Structure 1
């Protein structure tokens, strides 16, 4: 259950990163509220996951999901550039997350 909570926390990190971009520096109320709610929920689920999972594992996986997810949303939704270097970088992050999961108890 801790891993599922951590996955949802990571996905919420993607939500708040995207909504923060949409908030235009917190000048738009709707996206600002989504950002704040998603941040709180994401951190709460991360904290809950850390009751079972090691700090280094939980935090690394959480930020990795957020980083790769935000990269994907940037490319797919916002039309940000996609080039081989960025794809390799994202792939390395995913490989690190898989290795972290496989080498962690819990």
Structure 2
């Protein structure tokens, strides 16, 4: 169940990043509310996942998987450039997450 909680936390963390970008420095009320509510939900589900995961490992997985998701969605939805350096960075992050998983977490 902790992996499900972590997955939900990742989805809402990605939502935070997208909403924060649209909030225009918290001047757009709707996107500001979306940012804050998504952040609260992401943190709540992360806290549930951390009942099982080591804090450092769970947090590292949460931030890295969300970061990769944000980069990929930025390329797909907002036509941001995804070059070989970003792809290499994503591969390194994925390798790190796999390494954390192989370390015997949850």
TM-score interval (norm. to shorter): over 0.9
Secondary structure of the residue that 1:82 maps to in structure 2?
coil
- Structure 2 gaps of 5+ residues are none
Whole-Å separation in 1 of the counterparts to 2:104 and 2:56 = 10
Partner of 1:74: 74
Aligned length: 106
Conserved 8 A contact 1:57-1:104: no
Secondary structure of the residue that 1:53 maps to in structure 2?
coil
| TM-score, with structure 2 as normaliser | 0.94
Conserved 8 A contact 1:11-1:65: no
- Structure 1 gaps of 5+ residues are none
Partner of 1:8: 8
Whole-Å separation in 2 of the counterparts to 1:104 and 1:40 = 28
CA offset at residue 98 of structure 1?
Answer: 1.6
Whole-Å separation in 1 of the counterparts to 2:24 and 2:76 = 19
RMSD of aligned Cα (Å): 1.0
CA offset at residue 73 of structure 1?
Answer: 1.4
Partner of 1:47: 47
